[in-house]
Amino acid sequence: MRFIGSCYGDDANQLKLCSVTLFDAGVHYDITHWRFSLNANYCSYGLRREVLARATYQW
């Protein structure tokens, strides 16, 4: 969980952005030498979502 307080979005301090609380999540599953993971989060203002899937192998 992340909290971003209100701030101004321009140099003239005329565009005030509201505060927001963002929640991130992640899960992983391990089997033998493999790890499969899925992470999701919000990327600051504009509430862009980012989802990352990963498979890694450990020798």
- Span 3-53, pLDDT tens digits: 888 888 889 999 988 888 888 899 999 999 999 999 998 766 666 788 999
Please answer whether residues 6 and 34 qualify as being in contact, where contact means their C-beta atoms are separated by less than 8 angstroms. no
State the Cα–Cα distance between residues 54 and 3, nearest whole angstrom.
Answer: 27
Query: What's this model's pTM, rounded to 2 decimal places?
Result: 0.59
State the Cα–Cα distance between residues 40 and 59, nearest whole angstrom.
Answer: 27
State the Cα–Cα distance between residues 28 and 43, nearest whole angstrom.
Answer: 21
